[in-house]
């Protein structure tokens, strides 16, 4: 298949009513490769995980890239404030025992260590929860375009910061190229085992 040119691709906000299409995209091109989801058994994301991502759509802080009407990239972001470390710890406890609980347990540890609102003395941050690009159009800076759209939206909404927990080396490189400051690194060594 011929790769689309970057100019063929429109980036715009995800509207209310487009959650289903967004989730279809995330299930195809985000969840299967995002290292935390892929590295935590079982492979499929839990309903609570998907509900959490979609709960960000009404904030008007999620964006997608479309090529010929087809979603080829998406970013899910939402606001957080200085209570986020306590909130995340509570959410991790609430979902303990399942895949989402294990993911939240790790993300909660990251949140406590970074605590960006208190660290930078700001009331809020627009936090990027998920970023995915269809492999067919990777390497065309679509991830960067979506992160730029989130930053523009953060300015419009009065959030002084944009934060992101990069779980993949590609996303980490991408945001560092955009000038993001690294405030914490968590090294996780995993070994996936075959099903018994």
Could you list the residues that contact ligand ACO (CB under 6 A)? 30, 33-34, 128, 130-133, 138-143, 164-168, 170-171, 174
In the complex, residue closest to ligand ACO by CB: 143
Q: How far is the CB of 27 from ligand ACO (least distance, A)?
A: 12
| Dihedral, CA of residue 70, residue 150, residue 93 and residue 99, to nearest 10 | 30
Distance CA 35, CA 84 (A): 23
Q: How far is the CB of 78 from ligand ACO (least distance, A)?
A: 12
Q: How far is the CB of 162 from ligand ACO (least distance, A)?
A: 11
The interaxial angle of helices 47-54 and 19-29, nearest 10 deg, is 130
**Residue closer to ligand ACO, measured from CB, 121 or 182:** 182
**Residue closer to ligand ACO, measured from CB, 43 or 139:** 139
Q: How far is the CB of 35 from ligand ACO (least distance, A)?
A: 6
**Residue closer to ligand ACO, measured from CB, 107 or 117:** 107
Residue 167: other Cβ atoms inside 10 A: 21
The secondary structure of the chain in percent helix, strand, coil, rounded to multiples of 5, reads 45, 20, 35
């Amino acid at each position: 298949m011929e790769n689309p040119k970057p100019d063929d691709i429109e980036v715009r906000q995800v509207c209310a009513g487009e959650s289903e299409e967004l989730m279809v995209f995330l299930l195809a091109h985000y969840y299967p490769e995002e290292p935390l989801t892929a590295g935590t058994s079982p492979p499929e994301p839990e309903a609570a995980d998907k509900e959490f991502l979609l709960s960000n759509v009404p904030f008007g802080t999620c964006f997608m890239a479309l090529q010929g009407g087809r979603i080829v990239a998406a970013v899910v972001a939402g606001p957080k404030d200085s209570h986020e470390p306590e909130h995340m710890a509570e959410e991790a406890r609430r979902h303990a025992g399942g895949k989402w609980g294990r993911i939240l347990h790790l993300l909660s540890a990251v949140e406590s260590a970074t605590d960006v609102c208190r660290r930078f003395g700001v009331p809020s941050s627009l936090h990027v929860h998920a970023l995915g690009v269809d492999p067919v159009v990777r390497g065309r800076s679509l991830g960067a375009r979506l992160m730029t759209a989130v930053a523009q939206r953060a300015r419009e909404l009065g959030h002084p910061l944009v934060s992101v927990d990069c779980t993949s080396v590609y996303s980490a490189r991408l945001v560092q190229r955009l000038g993001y400051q690294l405030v914490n690194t968590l090294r996780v060594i995993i070994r996936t085992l075959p099903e018994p």
